[in-house]
Amino acid sequence: MNLSLYQDKDTWLHNIDPRTKLVGVAIIFIICLCFNNPIYMAVVALCVFFIALSARAQKALWTLRYILLLLVIFSVLLWPFFTVGKTPLWSWRFLRLTKESLFYGIAMGIRLSTFVIAGLILLSTTKNEDITNGLIKMKIPYPLAFAFSTALRLVPTFVGAGATIVQAQVSRGLDLESRNIISRFGKFIPLAVPMFISAIRYTNLLSMALESRGFSPGSPRTLYYEPVMKRRDWLILSFMIIVLIACLYMRIFLNLGVVMSGRL
C-alpha cells in the first residue's frame, strides 16, 4: 500500500538537498506568520503556489483540493466572530462582525492553505528516507531519527492490516455507519484489538533482529546516502533568508501587512 505523497519527477526542487527543503519550508511558515492582511497573504500564497507548480506538484494539490477549500471557508466563517475590530459591519445579539475581523478571517484562510501547500511541496518532492537523512544531518539524535524512519516504513503495513481487519468484520455484518457518534466510536474497539496485537508482535522480533546485528543507539553512524549541500542550496537558502528578513522588517518596523494588530 502506497500512502506517500512523493512524486518521482525531475525538477529543481527534487534535486536540491533535503536540508534546504526542510529549512526552506520552515522559512515559508515564518514568512506566513509575518502578515495578517489578506492582500499580503495572497502574494505569499501565490509565490508558494508557483513554487508548487514548478515542482510539478499539481497532482498532490488536486488530491487535497476539497481540504484546502474547506480550510478557507471554515477560517473565513469562524475567525470574524472570535476577533474584534474597530469598523462595525453587522451585528445581531451577541454576534458582531467588523471589517478588520472579516479581513483577518480571509487572511487566516489563505495562511492555512499556504501552510498546507508548503508542506505538500516538501512531501511531494522529498522521499521519506531523504527527510530522515536530512534530519540526521541536522543533528537530530540518531535513535529518534531511527524510530521516525522505522515508523514511516511500518505505517503502510499497519494501514493495510487495519483495512483487511475492517473489511473482514464488515463482511461479517459489522455496521460502522449507523447509530450515534459514541456507539460508532465503540464499534472500532473490536477492530483495534487485533490490529494492536498483530502490530505489537513486531516489537520483540525487530528488537532481536537489531541487537543481533549489533545495533547500538548511542554509537556514531555513517550513512549509505550522504546528502551534500551544493552551491545552489546555499544560494536558495541565502535568498530565502533575505526575503524573511525583508518580511520581518516590513512587519516589525514599517507595520505593513497588518489588519489586526496584536495578533500574528
Partner 1 sequence: MRYAIKMWSNTRMIVLVAVSAAIYAAALIAFKTAIPLIPGVTEVRVAGIFLMTFGILFGPAGAWGLAIGNLIGDIFGGTLGPASIAGFFGNFLLGYLPYTMWLNFFPFSEKSYEWNVKNPKSWSAYISITIISSCSCAVLIGLAVDILGIVPYEVVSRIIALNNIVGNLIGVVLLIAVYELTKNQLGLLWTDIMGIRQDGLSMRGIMGSWLVAIGSIAGMLAGFIPGLSVNLVSWSSVIFIVVGSLIL
What's the rounded Cα separation, in Å, for the pair 202 and 120?
31
CB of 85 to partner 1, least distance (A): 15
- The answer to whether residue 184 forms part of the interface with partner 1 (CB under 8 A) is yes
Using a CB cutoff of 8 Å and minimum separation of 24, what contacts does 79-86 make?
A: 79/104, 79/105, 79/108, 79/109, 80/104, 80/105, 83/260, 83/263, 85/259, 85/260
Pick 19 or 111: Cβ nearer partner 1: 111
User: Which 41-70 positions form the footprint of partner 1 (CB under 8 A)?
Assistant: 60, 63-64, 66-67, 69-70
Q: Of all helices (H) and strands (E), which one includes residue 257?
A: none
- The answer to whether residue 102 forms part of the interface with partner 1 (CB under 8 A) is no
Question: Which of residues 95, 197, 228, 254 is near partner 1 by CB under 8 A?
Answer: 197
Residues 6+ apart with CB under 8 A from 122: 21, 22, 25, 131
- The answer to whether residue 259 forms part of the interface with partner 1 (CB under 8 A) is no
CB of 162 to partner 1, least distance (A): 5
- The answer to whether residue 247 forms part of the interface with partner 1 (CB under 8 A) is no
What's the rounded Cα separation, in Å, for the pair 109 and 116?
11
User: Which 22-41 positions form the footprint of partner 1 (CB under 8 A)?
Assistant: 29, 33, 36
In 19-60 the beta strands, taken as DSSP E runs, fall at: none
Question: Which of residues 43, 47, 97, 166 is near partner 1 by CB under 8 A?
Answer: 166
